[in-house]
Structure 1
Amino acid sequence: MKAAIVTIGDEILIGQIVDTNSGFIAKSLDKIGVEVYEMLSISDSKDHILNTFSELQNTVDIVIITGGLGPTKDDITKKTFCEYFDDELVVDEAVLAHVTQLIEGFYKRPITQINKDQALVPSKCTVLHNEVGTAPGMWIKKDNTVFVSLPGVPFEMKYLVENEIIPKIIREYNRPYILHKTILTYGRGESAVAEQIEDWENNLPEYIKLAYLPAPGRVRLRLSARGVDKEMLEKSIEKNVQSLTEIIGDIIVGFEEDEPIEVVLGRMLSKKNATISTAESCTGGTIAQLLSSVPGASNYFKGSVVAYSTQVKENVLNVSKSLIEKHTVVSAEVAETMALNAKILLKTDYAIATTGNAGPSKGESDADVGTVYIAVATPNEVLVEMFNFGQPREKVIDRASIKGLEILLKEISKKV
């Protein structure tokens, strides 16, 4: 079963907003064995929409469209649907009752004609009830292709995908199984990993594909298996993962799908009942942001000192002026002291500290742009490493932040 995803909106095409809907829909379809054949973003133009529908007709089994269902004049999806399907708009009484209750009961204001017009739907469509908004979803079939229209508001779209579309597809279509297993590795680059596992990759069965998903400091290896025998696919994936572990087990830190390092690290800290703090200079709080983005992080992440200036390093983190004058602010000695004193100040088991020159200019140190010292204070010692992450500035900050988490993860992994 093949699907196409179409997002409608000039605001996407001019970069005013980022399309996150397509990624969510694609993942949801993939989980139930529907292959995404194509993703498109098109303008709020009737002719463009009609042409897109015609091109996708009978090419895929289902087209999922988001956007253009609002109450204003620039939202034209419903009228365009009627033209394409030779249909007319009619009032759906159930939708009207829901919209009325939402506007008058929840928002406590009189319903307007524009609000009532949200209940207009093509007469031939199956209405998908939108419990969390006013714009209903619409499901219409023409020849061999189903067209589904959803509101572009992300939380409304997600509700309809999870509660209406996915259950309906499962009920009405026979689909193959598509299984994924993602292996999380840290500390080795994509090319180095590929070289090390080349023989293993060449011996994968034809129904299993390997994808490399690199990011700063990490490489995810995603195995995807497709077929009709779910049990056979599961056993085959597990067998190949086991043989992979024998080759690169030293850099594998987890197997869950789409789990970034901050999630893996948080789970390990929770398992140890340990806490962490950060003292950041060149990374400017990025490590703290990564740690605190994980639900439940308050159980192990206690806080951060963003010591961007020398004055804050001295006055808050108690880095001595003489130490800075002797070694400069970008040095192993300063990074070590920052980590130790953050650990003491915030009363944690571990602490990560960064100091460096992210660029574009050198700032308060003569160290080369891209130079970063990262220190990790543990209950027993302080580990300090020096890196040069090059340029541009954003790359330095991102790589230094991930590397700090990676160093700590490796240290904790030895003791879990």
Structure 2
Amino acid sequence: MIAEIITIGDEILIGQIVDTNSAYIAKELNKIGVSVHQITSIEDEKDHILESLKNASNTANVVIITGGLGPTNDDVTKRTLCEYFEDQLILNSDVLEHIEEIFKRIKHTPISNLNREQAMVPSKAAVLHNKYGTAPGLWFKKDEVVYIAMPGVPFEMKALMEIEVLPKLKKEFDRPFIHHKTIRTYGLGESAIALRLEEWERNLPHHIKLAYLPNFGMVRLRLSGKGYDEGELKTSIELEFEKIYPLLKDIIADTAGEDEELSLSLQNAFIDKKSTLAVAESCTGGLLAAEITSNAGSSQFFKGGMVSYATQVKEEVLKVSKATVKKYSVVSRQVAEEMAVSARQLFKSDYAISTTGNAGPEKGESDAEVGTVYIGIATPEKVYAEKFELGKRREQVVKKAVNKALEMIYKELVTR
């Protein structure tokens, strides 16, 4: 079963906003066995919309449209849909009542004719109730293809997908199962991994595919399969994983769920072991703590952190020895270790991570080359730090350092 997503809006095409709707929709469709074969972003213009709908109907069973359904005069999507389906707009009293209720209960402003216009819907469309907004979703069917139009406001679209669209798609179509297994690797680039897997990949069953997903010092390998027997599908993917593991065992950090980031794996491990964590950051500037706390529930294990960017703060707040800084420099194994120990003591945590380095573009207070980063780990039994050379571009250095720090503390925790 194939879907195409069409996002409508000039603001996407000029880079004013990032299209996050397509990513969300694609993930949700994938979960119910619907494969997205194409995502298209187009301007809010009649001929362009008509052409995109026609092209999508040639290849897709489901066409999902977001955007262009607002209360402003420049939104032409609804009128264009009427032209495409040879339809006309009619007043939907339920939608009008919902709009009036929203203005009465939430907006506390007079309702305008433009807002009332949103209750005019194509007569051939099934109306999808927009719980949080005034523009309803629309469901059409033509020549065995389902067309779904939703507003582009992300929280409105997500509610429509969850409450209206996904349940209707499940009823409408017989869908295959789609299953993924993700392996996270560190320390080896995409091309080098591909060479190790060349023969294995050549012998993959036709219903299983491998995707390489590189990201600042790590590569995720996603095995994906599709089939109508869920048990057989999961078994076949597990068998392939058993074959791949010996080929990469020296660089595999962990296996994860379809969308699970390392920060979530780390959180689950800390909570499972009833342990706590703190951080002391320098070159990562708070991004490490931000990544750790990006998941709901992180307060169950994360005590807190400090961005000790200046040497003075390292010395006066974290109590890093001035003699250590003078002898080894602020970018050193010894300073990273003292930072980790102090963070563990300061926040009364079981574990602590520290980062100190030279992210560039200039050397700063230390003579260490740009890209040099030390990451320290303090545990209940020991403290140590490792040195890394993470490139010359500032963004690359910082993000690689964050990923490497997460990897180090995760390995330390799960191998205990």
TM-score bucket of the superposed structures, by smaller chain: over 0.9
1:30-41 to structure 2, matched below 5 A, reads 30-41=30-41
Who is 1:353 aligned against?
354
Q: State how far apart, in whole Å, the 1-side matches of 2:231 and 2:275 are.
A: 39
Please report how far the alpha carbon of residue 35 of structure 1 lies from its aligned counterpart in structure 2 after TM superposition.
Answer: 1.8
- TM-score of the aligned structures, taking structure 2 as reference length: 0.95
Report the alpha carbon displacement of residue 114 of structure 1 after superposing the two structures with TM: 2.0
Please give the residue correspondences for 1:379-390 in structure 2 after superposition, counting only pairs within 5 Å: 379-390=380-391
Give the corresponding residue for 2:205: 205
Equivalent-residue separation in structure 1 for 2:272 and 2:233 (angstroms): 31
1:399-414 matches, cutoff 5 A: 399-414=400-415
What CA distance in whole angstroms lies between the structure 2 residues aligned with 1:295 and 1:57? Answer: 40
Q: Deviations over 1:207-244 (max 9, x none)?
A: 11111212223222211112232222122122222333
- CA contact 1:58–1:143 (8 Å) conserved in 2: no
SS at the partner of 2:132? Answer: coil
Alignment of 1:117-136 (within 5 A): 117-136=117-136
Rate the CA distance shift 1:131–1:159 in 2: closer, same or farther, 3 A. same
Give 2:194's aligned residue: 194
1:317-338 CA deviation, whole Å, 9 max, x = no partner? Answer: 1112222111111111111111
Superposed counterparts of 1:183-332, under 5 Å: 183-249=183-249, 251-332=252-333
**Using the alignment, how far apart are the partners of 1:286 and 1:123 within structure 2?**
51
Structure-2 separation of matches of 1:407 and 1:176: 38
Work out whether 1:8 is the aligned partner of 2:8: yes
Amino acid at match of 2:254: V
Whether the 8 Å contact between 1:275 and 1:300 is mirrored in structure 2 is yes
Q: Distance in 2 between matches of 1:381 and 1:195?
A: 37
SS in 2 for 1:318: coil
- Percent identity reads 54
**2:151 is equivalent to residue 151 of structure 1:** yes
2:385 aligned with 1:375, yes or no? no
Instruction: Quote how far apart the aligned CAs of 1:246 are.
Output: 4.5
Residues 1:342 and 2:343 are matched in the alignment: yes
Q: State the 1:103 CA deviation.
A: 1.3
Closer/same/farther in 2, CA of residues 62 and 193 from structure 1, 3 Å limit: same
Structure 1 position 155, deviation (Å): 0.9
Shift of 1:108: 3.4
Distance 2:253 2:378 in 1: 23
Q: Which moved more, 1:263-272 or 1:218-227?
A: 218-227
2:253 touches 2:407 (CA, 8 Å); kept in 1? Answer: no
Matched, 1:80 2:80: yes
Give the AA of the match of 2:372: T
Give the deviation of 1:109 after TM superposition. Answer: 3.5
* Bigger mean CA offset, 254-263 vs 338-347: 254-263
Partner Cα separation in structure 1 for residue 230 and residue 298 of structure 2: 36
Q: Distance in 1 between matches of 2:160 and 2:235?
A: 33
Give the letter for the 2:114 counterpart. I
Partner of 1:93: 93
CA contact (8 A) 1:187 1:406 kept: no
1:77 and 1:289 mapped to 2: Cα distance?
39
The separation in 2 between residues aligned to 1:350 and 1:270, in whole angstroms, is: 13
C-alpha contact 1:57 1:144 (8 A) present in aligned 2: no
Q: Secondary structure at the match of 1:363?
A: coil
Shift of residue 106, structure 1, vs aligned partner:
3.2
Alignment length (residue pairs): 415
Q: Is the 8 A contact 1:180 1:222 kept in 2?
A: yes
CA contact (8 A) 2:282 2:308 kept: yes
- State the TM-score, normalized to the length of structure 1: 0.95
**Cα distance in 1, alignment partners of residues 278 and 257 from structure 2:** 25
1:282-319 CA deviation, whole Å, 9 max, x = no partner?
11011111111121111111111101111111111111
Give the secondary structure class of the aligned counterpart of 1:384.
strand
Partners of 1:245 and 1:252 within 8 A in 2? no
State the Cα deviation string for residues 96-150 of structure 1 (Å, max 9, x = none).
1111111112333332222211111111111111112111011122224222110
Counterpart residue number, 1:163: 163
Q: Counterparts of 1:228 and 1:280 in 2: how far apart (Å)?
A: 49
Letter in 1 for 2:244: L
Deviations 1:3-29 (A, max 9, x none): 110000111011110001111111111
| Greater Cα shift, 14-23 or 102-111 | 102-111
Instruction: Report the residue type matching 2:315 in the other structure.
Output: E
SS of alignment partner, residue 326 of structure 2: helix
Deviations 1:154-199 (A, max 9, x none): 1111111122111111111122222222223344433343333444
The Cα shift of 1:247 comes to 4.3
For 2:59 and 2:331, how far apart are their aligned partners in 1? 59
Amino acid at match of 1:143: D
Give the partner amino acid of 1:166: L
